[in-house]
Structure 1
Amino acid sequence: MVAFSITSSGSSLRPDRRLSQIVLAGAGAMALAACGADAETSEDSEEKPAKWAPVELASAGLGEVEEIDPAALEELTKSNKVRLIDVRTDEEVAEGMIPGAEHIALDEFEPTKLDLSDGREPVLYCRSDRRSGIAAEKLAQHIGKSVRHLDGGINAWRDKGLPIKRPAVF
């Protein structure tokens, strides 16, 4: 089962893995509840069948993926409280990056190896926002908190006339 969400521009559909996970988790909880609904106890036993409590999906460690628009990200980068991560390929990064970003290509992005101990909020971006959404989903699942990524990617950033910096050596 795959759920779909409409992008903020409303022009395309893309898989929404988090929604699919929530739906599957809910279906699994309902299946377990149904299994226990007919549980019988012997008459000489003092135990009663367990009552099934609703499943709280938020406690299942599923962080959310949120989009941030270019103007809001520009303001956030000024605060020095953000760790901006570019998940594009080496070739794409050679064409320019958002100033202050670090590069970790999506195929090398491993949330378990990402040191987040400095307290800065990780914000991810790519060319259009598809790959950064994938990386943000992985990171959100790992840390169990919401993770933001740039809506429209560096293309939207560039379209707003915001600064791009070419890396010195790549």
Structure 2
Amino acid sequence: MRSAGVLTILGAALLVACGDGRSPYAHGEERRVSGVLTIDAGALATRMEAGEPIQLIDVRTPDEFAQGHLEGAINIPLDDFDPANLPDAAGRERVLYCRSDRRSGVAAQQLAEATGQTVLHLEGGIDAWALGDRPIEDGAR
């Protein structure tokens, strides 16, 4: 019985040792969690710079939005977020974000469940965006 436990531990150690040591979510990558695709700030910036059609939805409060937001974003606070009443994306991919990524994660999950579509959600929120010295637009829209 004792040898079975030792074999289990050795097997687990072997599996860990076989990994390449990299995070599966390295910079510039995306990961999917039940209909929600998480995108990091660098990957989003690259897509925006390439002119990809993106609809940015900021789910923070109006006061937070007025203090600064991603260029072109629309503000739909989480408390008012209703997937059935969102503006038409007009063929654009939707990316939701908030300050850190908790609220946008909730909204993205709601949207994915309501539409059956994959929804992008900015990992680390606007805080992660700002850490990369990326542009933030001031004022309410």
Listed as ranges, the gaps of 5+ residues in structure 2 are 1-24, 26-32
Q: Please state how far the C-alpha of 1:116 moved relative to its aligned partner.
A: 3.2
| Per-residue CA distance 1:61-98 (angstroms, 9 max, x = gap) | xx611210101111222324110000001111121001
Match of 2:73 among 101, 104, 107: 101
**Do residues 119 (structure 1) and 91 (structure 2) align?**
yes
Aligned residues: 110
Match of 1:68 among 25, 39, 58: 39
Root mean square deviation of aligned Cα = 2.0
**Do residues 81 (structure 1) and 89 (structure 2) align?**
no
Match of 2:130 among 140, 154, 158: 158
In structure 2, the residue matched to 1:60 is none
Comparing 112-121 and 137-146, the one that deviates more: 112-121
For the pair shown, which has the larger CA radius of gyration, 1 or 2? Answer: 1
Match of 2:108 among 136, 155, 164: 136
Length-normalised TM-score, structure 2: 0.72
User: Which one-letter code corresponds to 2:113 in the other structure?
Assistant: Q
Poorly superposed stretches of 4+, deviation over 4 Å: none
User: Which one-letter code corresponds to 1:112 in the other structure?
Assistant: A
Listed as ranges, the gaps of 5+ residues in structure 1 are 1-7, 9-18, 20-62
Alpha-carbon distance in 2 for matches of 1:69, 1:110: 24
